Amino acid sequence: MQIIIVGCGNVGATLTEQLSGEGHDVTVIEQRKEVIQNVVNNFDVMGIVGNGASYLVMKDAGIEYADLMIAVTGNDELNLLCCLIARKAGHCSTIARVKNPIYKREISFIKEELGLSLVVNPEELAANEAAKLLKFPAATKIETFAQGKAEIVHMTVNEDSRICNKSLREIQSEIKSKVLIAVVSRADEISIPNGDFVLRAGDELSIVGASRNIAEFFRKIGLPTTRVHSAMIVGGGSTGFYLAQQLISFGIDVKLFEKDLERCKRLSDILPQALIINADGTDKDSLMEEGLVGTEAFVTMTNLDEENIMLSMYVKRKNPKAKLITKVHRVNYGEIIDSLQIGSIIYPKNITAQRIVQFVRGMNNSMGNNSIEALYKMNDGKVEALEFFITENSPVIGKPLSELNLKKGVLVSLINRKGEIISPTGQSELCAGDTVIVITSLLGLFDISDILVKA
């Protein structure tokens, strides 16, 4: 597809890398010359220095022939204007990044009136991710499929865990769970394991199953399955606000630290059920005075990565039982951050880019017989989980899974049949109307037929 990306900050750069890597013809518009130079040198894309809201610049980028225009600058109004111009000049699909909470209540109106295909809010997406983790604190990451009926839950194996130093076959024999351990990450190695695979301390697992079955599995191995009751949030920006709003709706006691007095006053007005504390969240005395040692969760949502990381490291030492969630914008030091073992790390730009890539793949496949219902990148982008819709003339229908000629590195991990979640065996068959979750180390699948070895 012909894709134009306006804005090459964190989200734009990630999109450029992923979409160009999937073979799309990408043109990037950015006002900073050095950024364009860097992007053109590193990826197979065309770069234009200029204002994406300019019709002439859009025309130079090929808007008249484009299939999709994605506006992800840091300015909401500029993104919306870019989409308006793109719709009028090129009649292409448009995606806008809109992060200001003011527009949240009006987003349906804006989307309809401007003809937007998709609106993404990185701050809200990050808050949603954090909220899911606080509802299920034993997990380090959660992805939802099958309209909320199924999940992929990530967890780390501890030395004293019931499943440590046991093979998957032994675990299934003892626990008799209806979940599938689909991926194991050990150091730099990613495995889609078989029954003989033995789990070790420090392994990061990706577990697939119906939500209730995953909760049952966690209970059987002695991990908590109930949401936290109290949470401290440091940072009263948009992400912190969205998260506090959700946690209050869950009945969780929220204490939110914000050092800007005027912002505190606004937050107090719109979040009356939360305790808004006008203090620097990095001040250890303030944290201790407000009950740091007793809180069940601690979430760092400031705009400074270093501050968030250092705070989480401090809290880990003072309150090792607390569920830690750390927001990080830059992913350059992902491996180093992971080695610090500071709980769940949330990367807003990756979450946003993932949502857009999901839309692009579905759009690219819209003329085909199947469609991508959901897509998640896992294990630093080395593995993907995709949910495909199965239509009547799909080549995967009518044969047991054991007889399908699946590509190496592909695992059919779950079937959703009219709301019934099925953990498949070799004798399971796919039917028209099913959605199926595929876990794969083969990146860039667009259609369910892509899981088969071509004849």
391-418 burial, b for 16+ CB within 10 Å, e for fewer?
Answer: eeebebeeeebeebebeeebbbbbbbbe
For residues 322 and 299, give the distance between their C-alpha atoms in angstroms, rounded to a whole number: 10
229: which DSSP letter? S
For residues 326 and 308, give the distance between their C-alpha atoms in angstroms, rounded to a whole number: 6
Residue 278 and residue 266 in contact, taking contact as beta carbons nearer than 8 Å: no
**pLDDT one digit per residue (tens) for the chain, 455 residues:** 999 999 998 889 989 998 998 889 999 999 999 999 999 999 999 999 999 999 999 999 999 999 999 999 999 999 999 999 998 888 899 999 998 878 877 888 888 888 899 999 989 999 999 999 998 888 999 988 888 889 999 999 999 999 999 999 999 999 988 899 999 999 888 999 989 999 999 999 999 999 889 999 999 999 888 889 999 999 999 999 999 999 999 999 999 999 999 999 999 999 999 999 999 988 999 999 999 999 999 999 999 999 999 999 999 999 999 999 999 988 666 677 877 888 899 998 888 988 898 888 878 765 444 468 888 888 878 899 999 999 888 899 988 999 999 999 999 999 999 889 998 989 999 999 999 999 999 988 888 989 999 86
CATH of the domain spanning 230-346: 3.40.50.720
Single pTM value for the model: 0.84
User: What is the token pair recorded at 48?
Assistant: 């234009």
Architecture of domain 2-120: 3-Layer(aba) Sandwich (3.40)
Where do the domains of the chain lie?
Answer: 2-120, 146-220, 230-346, 360-451
Nearest to 341 by CA among 206, 201, 221: 201
Rg of the chain over all Cα atoms, to the nearest angstrom: 23
Please measure the distance between the N-terminal and C-terminal CA atoms of the chain and give it in whole angstroms.
26
392: which DSSP letter? T
Residue 395 and residue 441 in contact, taking contact as beta carbons nearer than 8 Å: no
Report pLDDT for 24. Answer: 92
Q: How far is CA 295 from the centre of its chain?
A: 26
Q: 146-220 and 360-451: same fold?
A: yes
For residues 179 and 90, give the distance between their C-alpha atoms in angstroms, rounded to a whole number: 47
Looking at the DSSP bridge assignments, the partners of residue 275 are 255
Report pLDDT for 369. Answer: 42
Report pLDDT for 366. Answer: 57
Classified by CATH at the fold level, domain 360-451 comes out as Alpha-Beta Plaits (3.30.70)
Strands (DSSP E) along 125-252, which ranges?
A: 141-145, 150-156, 180-186, 189-191, 204-210, 230-234
Residue 277 and residue 255 in contact, taking contact as beta carbons nearer than 8 Å: yes
Classified by CATH at the fold level, domain 146-220 comes out as Alpha-Beta Plaits (3.30.70)
In the block, tokens 């954090």 appear at: 130
